């Protein structure tokens, strides 16, 4: 499921008009953008790890299934 992050954009939480409820109101706009970029970098790193994990799992499962089928049908 983590690989789905690769297809979803990361967006900062929006404020519905109340400045006190804004996301990180003590930070400047540049600081908030930098934080979003850092979060996105980490998310992409973990999403790629998840993608590789699922690909390896599918590959190993397929190899195991084919090997099992070959063993059962070899007699």
CA distance 36 to 24: 11
Q: Is the pLDDT of residue 23 over 60?
A: yes
Spatial CA neighbour of 49 closest among 1, 3, 4, 7? 3
Q: Is 40 exposed, middle or buried (0-12, 13-18, 19+ CB in 10 A)?
A: middle
Query: Which value, to the nearest 10 degrees, does the dihedral of the CA atoms of residues 9, 15, 21, 22 take?
Result: 60
- For the full predicted model, state whether its pTM sits above 0.75: no
Q: Is the pLDDT of residue 21 over 60?
A: no
Mean pLDDT of 38-60: 94
């Amino acid at each position: 499921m983590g690989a789905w992050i690769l297809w979803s954009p990361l967006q900062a939480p929006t404020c519905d008009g109340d400045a006190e409820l804004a996301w990180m109101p003590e930070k400047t706009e540049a600081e908030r953008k930098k934080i979003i970029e850092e979060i996105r970098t980490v998310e992409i790193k973990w999403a790629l790890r998840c993608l590789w994990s699922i690909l390896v799992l599918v590959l190993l499962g397929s190899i195991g299934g084919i090997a099992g089928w070959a063993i059962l049908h070899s007699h």
